[in-house]
């Protein structure tokens, strides 16, 4: 008799977990976990990532649904903005009294 987990088909799918720490903040990716379905993934996320009061809201997304940029194409993908300092606001002086710019 095969042991549970022996066959690849029995492995639970992977889920990406996002936690919102506080009202007004955005959900931040905190890690991933395995769960048989979305409802259990939310519960596992609660056990794995919010036991110390970290969050007020949890999102889970099937890892298979996440499309990523190609790590090998990092250069072409991200470096084109180098040498274009005019894209940064660093040449402007901040008006006095503006706290959160």
Partner 1 sequence: MTTEPAPDTVTAADPHGDVAVDRRELSAELIGAAGDATTAAPDVAEYALWLGDDSLILAQQLGRWISYAPELEEDVALGNIALDLLGHARSLLHYAGSASGRSEDDLAYWRGESEFRSAWLFEQPNGDFAHTIVRQLIAAHYLFELYSRLTASADRTVAAIAAKAVKEVDYHRDHADQWLLRLALGTDESRARVTVALADLWPYVDELFHDEPLIDRIPDVAVQPSALRWGFDQAVLPVLAEAELEQPRGFSSSGGGRRGVHSEYLGPILAEMQVLAREHPGASW
Q: Name the residue among 69, 83, 75, 4 with its Cα closest to residue 36.
A: 4
* Minimum CB distance to partner 1 smaller for 39 or for 66: 39
Residue 65, phi-psi category: left (phi > 0), alpha (psi -120 to 50), beta (remainder): alpha
* Minimum CB distance to partner 1 smaller for 20 or for 46: 46
Show the site string, 1-30: x = touches partner 1 by CB under 8 A, - = not.
---xx------x------------------
CB of 45 to partner 1, least distance (A): 9
Q: How far apart are CA 66 and CA 63, in angstroms?
A: 5
* Minimum CB distance to partner 1 smaller for 47 or for 70: 47
Residue corresponding to tokens 């084109």: 80
Asked if 20 and 50 count as a contact pair (C-beta separation under 8 A), the reply is no
Residue 40 interacting with partner 1 (CB under 8 A): yes
Q: Name the residue among 63, 40, 13 with its Cα closest to residue 48.
A: 40
**Site for partner 1, residues 42 to 71, rule: CB under 8 A:** 43-44, 46-48, 51
Query: Which residues are at the interface with partner 1 (CB under 8 A)?
Result: 4-5, 12, 33-37, 39-40, 43-44, 46-48, 51
């Amino acid at each position: 008799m095969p042991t549970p987990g022996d066959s690849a088909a029995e492995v639970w799918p992977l889920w990406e977990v996002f936690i919102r720490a506080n009202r007004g903040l955005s959900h931040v990716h905190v890690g991933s976990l395995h769960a048989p379905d979305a409802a259990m993934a939310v519960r596992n996320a609660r056990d794995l990532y919010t036991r110390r009061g970290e969050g007020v809201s949890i999102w889970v997304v099937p890892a298979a649904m996440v499309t990523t940029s190609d790590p090998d194409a990092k250069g072409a993908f991200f470096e084109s903005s180098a040498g274009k300092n005019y894209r940064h606001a660093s040449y402007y002086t901040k008006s006095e009294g503006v706290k959160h710019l």
